[in-house]
Structure 1
Amino acid sequence: MREGSGERMHAVVPVRGEEGMEGKGREREEWVREVREGGSLRNVELESEGEHGWASPGAGLFMARGVNYFQKKVKTPCEGTLMKPLGVDWLRSNGRLDHVLAHPENRVMQAFEEKASGEARKSSFIMAINLQVPGKEHHSAVFYFVTDEHIAEGSLLYRFIHEDDAFRNSRFKLINRIVKGPWIVKAAAGNHAACLLGKALTCRYIKGGNYLEIDVDIGSSTVANAILHLALGYVTTVSVDMAFLIESQTDEELPEKLLGAVRIAQIEMEAASYLEAVPESVSAAAHNQPAFQSGLYWRKFGKSLSKLGHGHGSKNGRIDVDEGEN
């Protein structure tokens, strides 16, 4: 199912022209609006000076592999996204929050199940990216994206959803862009740096009937953990754009398009919403989903940042960065 151009490899076939979510009826608008406006992080304007919020940066702000990348090795502004930002949750808990979409109190699935129309239930697909932050109190930054368009069989997005974890790990990428922050954060985290999260960190992929959740264990890399805790020390002064994408590795998969992108603006640690951690078997049963046992535990926080820039790209060394992205 790999026939056709690069555009088709990424194809998300429109259901009703370019109307998107807003053209699908009052019920669908209601559940989407509730998710976007709810949560501990408020939805703010992209260029506003608002603090403790999230916004939707355009795809063109990120450099990605264009149609001639494998011949010229030159990246170009990304041309679009495969999914739309739905909302962001900043959560704290008494334990690591795994499989948040199956949590009995997950507000996104509650809104979807209670207020989405029958048509929306059939056509909508949700992706949740759960960045798990270890510490004395566990935190999670959860980014929700949605598409209400048919995902073409054989497209790169379709394959990412349906193929195995080895495929996903080889493709799941993050591009960060520090919009505002002190030089020490920019130096440690890099700017416009691209990282294959599936290779740098432990990622768990949980597939439901109408969603895919990716739980990213920041604690699985001492360096990533150290960088994140450094950034959290300046969190109220930092704004960062994060774009997630499925890496294209052949000509027919080009040009790259983002899964989605979110800007996080000057969040407040203490403002995180509390969510009680529950056993995976309990949360899965709440949504009639199979239980996924992680079998992995948090690693201890690195003693210092002295390891930055060292190692060989393993999960205990530096985070591998796509050197073509500057």
Structure 2
Amino acid sequence: MCSTELDPSSESQLDFDYDDWRQQAIDGGSIRSVDLQNGSNGWSSPPGDLFCLRGPNYLSSRQKVPSGDWSLLPAGVDWLRSSRRLDNILSRPDNRVASALRRAQSVGRSLKSFLFAINLQVPGRECHSAVFYFASEDPIQPGTLLHRFVHGDNAFRNSRFKIVNRIVKGPWIVKATVGNYAACLLGRALVCNYHMGVNYLEIDVDIGSSAIATAISKLALGCVESVTIDMGFVVEAQAEDELPEKLLGAVRISQMEMSAATYVAPAT
């Protein structure tokens, strides 16, 4: 009778496969991770200090200050297309990011991780989705503004979910147009649908629900290969004890090619 021992190199590979699920998610996206300064047709993670958010004395001084580090860690970006709008992507069995986390958790690793996804749904003859994934390594702390947002009702979420944009590079018309909406409460300007799972929250932002947002997205997508944009996501602070604001996460999209979108079959 012979015994079978796990090869040390295989054990190391197993540890990498399951402990580093977030790196797998980053590496496997439909658009690749690129250099922050010089990358193109990809995404990167801009530092928080590029975004000015409400400071500790904002309610009295109206002063904004550079944000610190993000609350959540980057976990990849997808650029997807389909014949119909893609909703609740994290619930799909073929979603690569949720699958990577499930595989890690199936062997008892990353049990505390929480996924946060923002799905910007772009209307058109083909529906597109830009999906930004973020994750926490530990449970979100009770009592924090982020915890209240995750576990709050949709009215609370709509009153707090904010995007902060920066055009890094692009034609003047895009800079001027997007600059007018540099900070926007998405939950009030657009229809946002919130999908809560056991270990995730996904926000589906229906750009087609606003004529202005649809026009801006068409303008930006028309010259997308020459545009680099930073997008930061924030739970807006509206009370003294919620300040200063902190980024949930941020992503830089650098001169993306429309053809980079991966086709996804609509849910049955």
> Which whole-Å deviations, capped at 9, do the CAs of 1:50-109 have from their partners, x for residues lacking one?
221000000100000111111111101012211011100000001000000112211111
Deviation of 1:30 after TM superposition, in Å, equals 3.0
Is residue 104 from structure 1 mapped to residue 83 from structure 2 by the alignment?
no
The answer on whether the counterparts of 2:18 and 2:103 sit within 8 Å (CA) in structure 1 is: no
Q: Confirm whether residue 215 of structure 1 aligns to residue 215 of structure 2.
A: no
Q: Look up the equivalent residue of 1:60 and give its one-letter code.
A: D
Normalising by structure 2, report the TM-score. 0.91
Unaligned runs of 5+ in 2: 1-14
* CA 275–185 in structure 1, closer or farther in 2 if over 3 Å, else same: same
Matches within 5 A, 1:267-278: 267-278=256-267
- In structure 1, the partner of 2:27 is 37
Alignment of 1:152-191 (within 5 A): 152-190=141-179
Q: Which string of whole-angstrom CA distances, capped at 9 and with x for unpartnered residues, describes residues 245-267 of structure 1?
A: 00000010011100000000111
Residues 151 and 158, structure 1, Cα contact 8 Å, conserved in 2: yes
How do 1:43-192 and structure 2 match up within 5 A? 43-48=33-38, 50-116=39-105, 117-120=107-110, 122-190=111-179
Tell me the equivalent position of 2:10.
Answer: none
Q: Which amino acid aligns with 1:42?
A: R
Unaligned runs of 5+ in 1: 1-24, 280-326
C-alpha displacement of 1:270:
1.2
Query: Could you report, residue by residue, the CA deviation over 1:33-66 in whole angstroms, capped at 9, with x for unpaired residues?
Result: 2110112210011112x22100000010000011
- Mapped to 1, the partners of 2:59 and 2:16 lie a distance apart of 45
My pick for the range that moved more, 30-39 or 220-229, is 30-39
The one-letter code sitting in structure 2 at the alignment partner of 1:102 is S
Contact 2:73 2:135 in 1 (8 A): yes
**How do 1:256-275 and structure 2 match up within 5 A?**
256-275=245-264
Q: Distance in 1 between matches of 2:180 and 2:51?
A: 11
Deviations 1:111-167 (A, max 9, x none): 1112345241x2100000000000000000000000112321111011001010000
> Matched residues in 2 for 1:147 and 1:93: separation?
29
Q: 2 CA distance for matches of 1:181 and 1:97? A: 28
| Deviating more after overlay: 126-135 vs 110-119 | 110-119
Indicate the RMSD between aligned Cα atoms, in angstroms.
1.3
Q: State the partner residue of 1:233.
A: 222
| Letter in structure 2 aligned against 1:258 | L
- Counterparts of 1:243 and 1:192 in 2: how far apart (Å)? 13
Identity %: 56
SS where residue 123 of structure 1 aligns?
A: coil
Secondary structure, aligned partner of 1:67: coil
Amino acid at match of 2:122: V
Contact 1:178 1:239 in 2 (8 A): yes
Describe how 1:195-210 pairs up with structure 2 within 5 A: 195-210=184-199
Count of aligned residue pairs for this structure pair: 253
- Note if contact 2:19-2:109 (Cα within 8 Å) is conserved in structure 1: no
Distance 1:128 1:57 in 2: 17
**Pairing 1:277-316 to 2, within 5 Å after superposition:** 277-279=266-268
Given that 1:178 and 1:192 are in contact with CA atoms closer than 8 Å, whether structure 2 keeps it comes out as no
Could you say if the C-alpha distance between residues 147 and 236 of structure 1 is closer, same or farther in structure 2, counting changes exceeding 3 Å? same
Q: Distance in 2 between matches of 1:192 and 1:136?
A: 25
SS of structure 1 residue aligned to 2:20: helix
Q: Which amino acid in structure 1 is aligned with residue 179 of structure 2?
A: G
